[in-house]
Amino acid sequence: MARTGIATVCLSGTLEDRLDAAAAAGFDTVEIFEADLIASPRSPEQIRDHIAGLGLTISLYQPFRDAEGAPPQRFAATLRRLRAKLELMDRLGAGTLLICSSVAPDTIVDNDLAADQLRELAELAAGHGIRIAYEALAWGRHISTWEHSWDLVRRADHPALGLCLDSFHVLSRTDRFAGIADLPGDRIFFVQLADAPRLDMDVLQWSRHHRLFPLQGGLDLAGFTRTVLASGYAGPLSLEVFNDVFRQADPHRTAVDARRSLIALQDAVDTTQPAGSAPAGGAARKAESRLTGIAFAELGVGDDTDTGPQLETLLTALGFTHTGQHRSKPVQLWEQNTARILLNSGVHESAIHAFALESTDPEAAARRAAHLLAAPLPRRRRQSEADLTAIAAPDGTEIFFCRTAPPDDSVPAAETRTKPLGDSAPALETRTAPLGQHGWLDDFLPTGETPAPPTGVTAIDHLSLAQPFDRYDEAALFYRTVLGLIGDEASEFAAPFGLIRTLAIRDPERRVRITLSVPVLRRGDWAPAVRHPQHLTLATDDLPRTASALRSAGVPLLAIPGNYYDDLDARLTLDPPLRTRIRDLGAMYDEDAHGHYLQLFTPVIGGRIFLEIVQRVGGYRGYGFVNDPVRMAAHREQRLHAHSPR
Amino acid sequence: MARTGIATVCLSGTLEDRLDAAAAAGFDTVEIFEADLIASPRSPEQIRDHIAGLGLTISLYQPFRDAEGAPPQRFAATLRRLRAKLELMDRLGAGTLLICSSVAPDTIVDNDLAADQLRELAELAAGHGIRIAYEALAWGRHISTWEHSWDLVRRADHPALGLCLDSFHVLSRTDRFAGIADLPGDRIFFVQLADAPRLDMDVLQWSRHHRLFPLQGGLDLAGFTRTVLASGYAGPLSLEVFNDVFRQADPHRTAVDARRSLIALQDAVDTTQPAGSAPAGGAARKAESRLTGIAFAELGVGDDTDTGPQLETLLTALGFTHTGQHRSKPVQLWEQNTARILLNSGVHESAIHAFALESTDPEAAARRAAHLLAAPLPRRRRQSEADLTAIAAPDGTEIFFCRTAPPDDSVPAAETRTKPLGDSAPALETRTAPLGQHGWLDDFLPTGETPAPPTGVTAIDHLSLAQPFDRYDEAALFYRTVLGLIGDEASEFAAPFGLIRTLAIRDPERRVRITLSVPVLRRGDWAPAVRHPQHLTLATDDLPRTASALRSAGVPLLAIPGNYYDDLDARLTLDPPLRTRIRDLGAMYDEDAHGHYLQLFTPVIGGRIFLEIVQRVGGYRGYGFVNDPVRMAAHREQRLHAHSPR
């Protein structure tokens, strides 16, 4: 595997903050971005020693601007400037200098002159034992393509002059980079990697504000990296990402995110075909284990004494039965068909504290997570308790891997620890693992409670987790790579208090679905909205029945405005019975090419969480994102009434 | 003056929040953005009554999309949809519907068909007494220019069909809009106004995220508005601004900002020549009063008991004399030449609490401020105290207008209340106003303290005020319009904890200079930076002398890293004596076409404020923005040492 590097400019804080974070995340080497060094109170020698003490090397000093194509007088000043920087690099112990193509308005368009000047600069560098890596900026005045930069390097023909290839500069301009594989690998002196979302905007602004780590954007980083490595390039793969959010975020977290991206990229390079596309993760690794469903969701009850009873009332009304009590912790197990919800009153915040994923091989899933730098959580092992492997998601949510069902039905279903919950709930009986064999359910003592009448709820449909503003891109990459999920549907919509971005991710078979959301801008003082709202969506095969059960139990549902239904009628020509049913249920509606979707919501409980009950009819594949603005306004209205009667 | 309107989509919160804010800011009318209505729990009748109760009217319901050019089957659905929306508008009491040009992929390119369909839609609307205003979206599938939309309206030739002209859609595509003046004004049914910064990006994204209120961006809003009014258009001028920040900000503040923009726009339209450019404010109004300098800056001492003594020590070392004590408040007056600093120990936060501007006519300046909706502050009038007119800036800073000097030297200098401060300080003696005539200095009892030896400080050079994230665009417009200042230099740079934007504004003669700054993204938890830092920059005509006085007094100055000087030497070929002087002083350096700039900084005092001492040599006009990143890192380093010794 190639050495991994990161430019100091990717991270936030003082130079020392950035270096410490890079080392802690396990990078091999760093690029020193000049502005970060200039702002440091430490001398170059002190910085050199600090970096060595961290076990890092300096692979690049950058950038040196406006070098080639200079008129004679400016070129004399350029030589003088280069001498000063070479002396600095001697003190710093940096062996390679990045020169990026000139943007100066007075740049002379003359390839021979530019090559001559680059040769002269390289000769000067060679006197210090320093190499120059020449890079074409995508917005270079005259040299802006990798082919052109290679042409100059070839013309200059000096052993101390080679290429720097930056994935953003190449891929923002062209998809034609296959020729890089044919370059002599030892003339590529440095490779910088950055991804970016596909944006139609000025390329300089795109580069300065919107770069992302590999596999977080829309550029073909796997293809680019594979091509570069095919040339024989053996230097580091180094990240150079200018991103407004990362510049403000905890550098230790960002550095781990960065290194995860390189590991996932390496996996993608290793396991995909040269001609194929490059999914995050890698097919071989994915084959080790598969996620087959959501085993349970654990709701923290929080410190508000009202929340626990509210949740219990709600679950009972929904047809869940409190089937088990944890042997050692204040955790209740509630079940209905394959939907299992834990209520943990030992957690101080009411939130989706944890969730567990069914895996065909939990140990392999955990190894994969560790390989991708997921933070391990202390295991919940106690004497007679199941050993559940757990990791922390970027927002702190705990994720468990478990195997409730026997893998691939190869192990016959053994004794079950709960009685069937009624005619409509046979799934639990057959999918429960043998006792003592990954039997996390064994941690729960049966309560013997009489099963509640089922209401049609069949499973957990998906989880919706608002992400901390700083961690959205990290979370998306985390879920895709660590869990091997794929990006599904993305949306941006106007909530009452600002724009929101949402991304759904899922496994290929749609058995594990998670939606992530984040405000487009970090929320400020004026935003009387729920902070980091979360919800748990339950699937029902009979929404009227579920709704009726809730109403019978006196559980309030979120009131959807009449204006919503009037607009629905204006937009769509629904069959009259369906139209009537939607209004009568107080449901929201969406449709796609496959089918339609009916949604009910509870009010927000405990300040942050609510439940959604959905019915997918005819294979609808979405998440009802189109209804989110109205739903959020309705939640706002509900909270206004709850807190200050009008 | 035209009626002023605002679209609900400009503001944040529930529909009620938005309507209340629009009414409170004094708008005449609102556009109801459909999504805001759909999300409201109130019925159309309730919304109508609420709006009427606020004294507002509804001038537009919008948008109705994908109408013209539809294939037959879709057009049938469009008619059905229009009927539903017309019924809604009947209930709402809205008389004009916006139809924006179709973006549907199946739109048929056929002007006759489109005109026929628009005529049919208009006929349907006419049956409800409703008018249709047809608008060309800049990204419309087929119709995307105002000329083309007018062509369709003309072809359709229906009295209930007219044009909607939106400044963004027009100006984002073309500077050729003079022909609008020749349209029949009564066929323009509606005019929407939005400004925007000049950005090179996809126009839809530009429009959705980056619109601004008039005069906050780079489009020719004054020219556009003048042209529209020249057609005879007599309807409202209505704001339709999609802005990520405004969507999150307190709607009451945003609504005032919005209405201020329309007032300033009206002034600009009234006072500029049709062929000329359109500066904010308006020449006639500007002539009423001129700002001629910064009379004083008032520093809040804050609650930390160390801060007062630190500031007093610093001012003494800088050669200031504590010349006066306020008659009734815990406020000290410190003076040196024309630089006057008040230390107010009655203020709980150490900050630039207030500043006063010299005006040739303070009353006229106050009238202008009131005209532009600046929030008046309770006057500081007490029995024998001067009547200082004061307003609040968007960040709460108090701004006073005063006249220390006689206007235009027409009133001879009368008795002065302080002795000359030495040979180098004659200005105060001649510029002080007569007692009892705008004599704010009379509020201060002379202390009789022996004047400190002067150190070269001559004046307050400028003020630097970090702005709350939500209020940056408002602040820039406020200072330009309310104070009649002009935009000067803008910058964006990478501070240790994120990108920062800076804008300098000034009067034409560079006697009042203020720089505003804001992070590119709202700061989060990881940002151990000073929150809303401020500084006061003093001009000296002899920086070595001032620096020497500070060092003699043992006052610490901010330590500038050696790497900064090495880089300066690499970049610039300075005269050896100057080069030596800069290093010896520990100063920072900048140069422009006019001269150069030397800067010294104090550490941060009291958590938020610091002083800068600068010398402008040879007419340098900038603010040293290029040095801000290193200076900010140095302040970070200083605070690290101050708080946790390493």
Within chain A, how many helices (H) and strands (E) appear? 19, 25
Query: What is the complex's ipTM, to 2 decimals?
Result: 0.91
pLDDT of residue A566: 97
Note the pLDDT tens digit of each residue in B550-586.
999 999 999 999 999 999 999 999 999 999 999 999 9
Q: Which of B244, B526, B629 sits opposite A521 (nearest CB)?
A: B244
Whether B566 has a binding-site annotation, put simply, is no
Residue with tokens 């891997």: A401
B180: phi then psi, degrees, rounded to nearest 5: -60, -30
B590: phi then psi, degrees, rounded to nearest 5: -145, 160
CATH class held by domain A291-643: alpha beta
pLDDT of residue A276: 42
Q: Say yes or no for a CB contact (<8 Å) between A497 and B247.
A: yes
pLDDT band per the 50, 70, 90 thresholds, residue A433: very low
pLDDT band per the 50, 70, 90 thresholds, residue A274: low
Whether A135 has a binding-site annotation, put simply, is yes
- Lowest-confidence range among B233-247, B437-451, B600-614? B437-451
pLDDT band per the 50, 70, 90 thresholds, residue A247: very high
Instruction: Find out whether B387 and B381 touch, Cβ atoms under 8 Å.
Output: yes
My answer on whether omega of the bond before A63 falls inside 30° of 0, hence cis, is: yes
Q: Which of B12, B524, B630 sits opposite A497 (nearest CB)?
A: B12
Q: Say yes or no for a CB contact (<8 Å) between B39 and A630.
A: yes
pLDDT at B279 over 80: no
For residues A547-564, average pLDDT: 96
- Chain A neighbors of B43, CB-CB under 8 A: 562-563
Note the pLDDT tens digit of each residue in A73-117.
999 999 999 999 999 999 999 999 999 999 999 999 999 999 999
Instruction: Find out whether A249 and B526 touch, Cβ atoms under 8 Å.
Output: yes
pLDDT of residue B587: 98
* Residue A590 structure tokens: 């969406």
Q: Say yes or no for a CB contact (<8 Å) between A634 and B41.
A: yes
Instruction: Find out whether A293 and A237 touch, Cβ atoms under 8 Å.
Output: no
Within chain B, how many helices (H) and strands (E) appear? 19, 25
Shortest distance, CA B543 to any CA of chain A (angstroms): 23
pLDDT band per the 50, 70, 90 thresholds, residue A379: low
Note the pLDDT tens digit of each residue in A156-194.
999 999 999 999 999 999 999 999 999 999 999 999 999
Mutate: best of A243, A247, A632, A638, partner B, most B CBs <10 A: A247
Q: Which of A12, A37, A637 sits opposite B498 (nearest CB)?
A: A12
End-to-end CA distance of chain A: 64
pLDDT at A286 over 80: no
- Lowest-confidence range among A266-270, B419-423, B457-461, B530-534? B419-423
Interatomic CA distance for residues B170 and B136, integer angstroms: 8
Q: What is the DSSP code (8-state) at residue A625?
A: G
pLDDT of residue A287: 54
E strands in A121-217: 131-135, 161-166, 188-193
Interatomic CA distance for residues B600 and A629, integer angstroms: 51
CB atoms within 10 A of CB A79: 15
Whether B166 has a binding-site annotation, put simply, is yes
Interatomic CA distance for residues B365 and B285, integer angstroms: 10
Mutate: best of B45, B526, B628, B631, partner A, most A CBs <10 A: B526
Instruction: Find out whether A44 and B570 touch, Cβ atoms under 8 Å.
Output: no
- Chain A neighbors of B634, CB-CB under 8 A: 39, 41
Mutate: best of A17, A139, A242, A248, partner B, most B CBs <10 A: A248
pLDDT of residue A378: 74
Shortest distance, CA A390 to any CA of chain B (angstroms): 26
CATH fold of the domain at B4-284: TIM Barrel (3.20.20)
Instruction: Find out whether B199 and B168 touch, Cβ atoms under 8 Å.
Output: no
Q: Which of B40, B520, B573 sits opposite A244 (nearest CB)?
A: B520
- Give the percent of chain B with pLDDT over 90: 82
Burial class (CB in 10 A: 0-12, 13-18, 19+), A150: buried
Whether B637 has a binding-site annotation, put simply, is no
Domain extent listing, chain A:
4-284, 291-643
Interatomic CA distance for residues B529 and A213, integer angstroms: 25
pLDDT at A521 over 70: yes
Burial class (CB in 10 A: 0-12, 13-18, 19+), A109: exposed
Interatomic CA distance for residues A178 and A233, integer angstroms: 14
Instruction: Find out whether B29 and B56 touch, Cβ atoms under 8 Å.
Output: yes
